[in-house]
Amino acid sequence: MTKTKFYHPKFIPTWIMVGFMKLSAKLPFRAQVVIGKIIGKLLYPLLSRFRSIALVNVSRCFPNKSKTQVEDLVKQHFEAIGISIFETANAYFASNDKVNSMLSINNEHYLTNALNRKQSVILLAAHFMPLMLGSRALLLKYNIANIYRPQNNKLFDEVMRKGFVDNGAVMIKTKDTRSMLKAIKDGIPIWYAPDQDLGERSCVFAPFFDIQTATVAATARLAKGKNTQVIPYFFIRTNNGYAMSFEPPLENYPADDEIQSATITNGILQKQILRAPEQYLWIHKRFKTRPDGDEDFYKNI
């Protein structure tokens, strides 16, 4: 990283944050969880806008939950947000030995078998709070292409990019479809999380928790490549560390049309979310883009 262009005083808070992250990455896992939960509890009353978004999302996705149950889940989610501060620090600055010591891996053979057969692989993931650490964990054994959205803070974006590149990742921006296709063609597994609302031009509407949801259509297009496998990838925090899980490659995917393909991917991600709902990214406006005539879920936020 060329530091000279980041010496401007406006980057002082970011440099302080980076220093804090480097130090916090040295803390033991259990200490990170305890402190992270405390931070999350403090953030819950302060981040009113994000709290409101999460309450809307959870209440819409779990209509059978009472108001109290919805609030309890959102409070747990904010604790997960607090812990994710340390998980992100681990992703950038923890040693390989520390990351490896926190891992348990399930069904890795689905990935290794595909790679041994020289198949191209798309790892289908959802935006859980340990997302960045899940990407770093893959780099312990594999060269992976990370699909990422550049950060508005240029210094933090460079820290993030360098943290992964130094550990062997290929970084590809979300809109750089050409580089994604090249990575797939070159046999580099792509880590891809399509559960973001990128607007109507980039999405099709497909059910997600029984809600017609703007869903990225590029997953199916990327999977059309010859000899390409889509393998669901699941990474969450447990009581003792982190569970990295792989599921069987999708059969008959992509489907005949984009909506059917998007329905398949949403169904897979929904099942993953139900396994650890508090760790999912509920503060994102997942339902911002609505079909014509549908109400705005976030009109009062």
Tell me the whole-structure pTM to 2 decimals: 0.91
Where are the strands (E) in the chain, listed by range? Answer: 103-106, 120-124, 145-148, 170-173, 190-192, 203-208, 211-216, 228-237, 242-246
The single-letter code of the amino acid at 42 is: L
Q: Chain centroid to CA 117: how far?
A: 27
- Would strands 103-106 and 242-246 be described as parallel, antiparallel, or unpaired? parallel
Please report whether residue 85 resides in a domain: yes
pLDDT band at 237 (very low <50, low <70, confident <90, very high): very high
pLDDT digits (tens, 9 = 90+) for 94-126: 999 999 999 999 999 999 999 999 999 999 999
Handedness of CA 137, 138, 142, 148 (dihedral sign): negative
Percent with pLDDT over 70 in the chain: 99
pLDDT on residue 4: 57
Residues listed for the chain? 301
Q: Which pLDDT value is given to residue 2?
A: 52
Residue 44 lies in domain: 9-279
**HEC-encoded secondary structure of 25-54:** CCCCHHHHHHHHHHHHHHHHHHCHHHHHHH
Instruction: Indicate the number of domains in the chain.
Output: 1
Residue 103, in any domain of the structure: yes
CATH of residue 201's domain is 3.40.1130
Instruction: Give 226's pLDDT tier (boundaries 50, 70, 90).
Output: confident
Does 112 map to a domain?
Answer: yes
In-domain check, residue 238? yes
pLDDT above 90 (res 229) = yes
Average pLDDT, the chain: 92
* pLDDT tens-place string over residues 16-52: 988 999 999 999 999 999 999 999 999 999 999 999 9
Helical axes 67-93 vs 12-24, angle rounded to 10°:
90
